Structure 1
Amino acid sequence: MTHQPPSEQPFFSAVVVDTLRQGDQRASGGKKPYDRLRVIWLGRTRVPGIEAGVELRLNGMVTQVDGLPAMFNPRYEILSRQEHL
């Protein structure tokens, strides 16, 4: 997750890792091209419920930012949270 300093325009960013398809590597010759996705919410310094270990469903248009697929201001649904022991 990334936080901007107060002097810059606010945004909240996280890199989401696709763990549901890690075993499915046959179609791309054993290598998945997009197992990570940068998610960016503009105008926000945090997004309630978004933290490390949370499983999400995202909906939005994908673009490229610095060679990584990215979504800006996606709709999201929190599917589950990782329990801390």
Structure 2
Amino acid sequence: MTHQPPSEQPFFSAVVVDALRPGARSAVSPGGTGKPNDRLRVIWLGRTRVPGIEAGVRLRLKGMVTRVDGLPAMFNPRYEILSRQEHL
């Protein structure tokens, strides 16, 4: 997740890993290189946080996909929280 400094336009960004796709592996390999098809950058403009969006949350997203810095990205998507990890 990324937060902008107060001097810049606010946005909230997270990279979502597709863990449900058959055959999907970790988004980052041991060598540190990511596989773009397993990741999606999600960006909410005009916000510094999005309620319920945090590490470990399973989401369903709906929106138009584009590319930002070579990574598939979705701006201001509709989202549904499917489940959360329990914190012990």
> Would the TM-score normalized by the shorter structure come out above 0.5?
yes
What is the aligned length?
79
2:75 to 60, 72, 78: 72
**Structure 2: segments with no counterpart, 5+ residues:** 26-34
**TM-score normalised over the length of structure 1:** 0.87
2:55 to 34, 43, 52: 52
Identity of aligned residues (%): 90
**Structure 1: segments with no counterpart, 5+ residues:** 26-31
Partner of 1:13: 13
Q: Secondary structure at the match of 1:34?
A: helix
Which structure's CA Rg is the greater one? Answer: 1
User: How well do the aligned residues superpose, as a CA RMSD in angstroms?
Assistant: 1.6
Q: Secondary structure at the match of 2:80?
A: strand
The question of whether the paired residues in 1 share the 8 Å contact of 2:36 and 2:72 is answered with: no
Partner of 2:65: 62
Partner deviation per Cα, 1:32-74 (whole Å, 9 max, x = no partner)? 7511000000000000000000000000000000000000000
Alignment of 1:28-39 (within 5 A): 34-39=37-42
**TM-score normalised over the length of structure 2:** 0.84
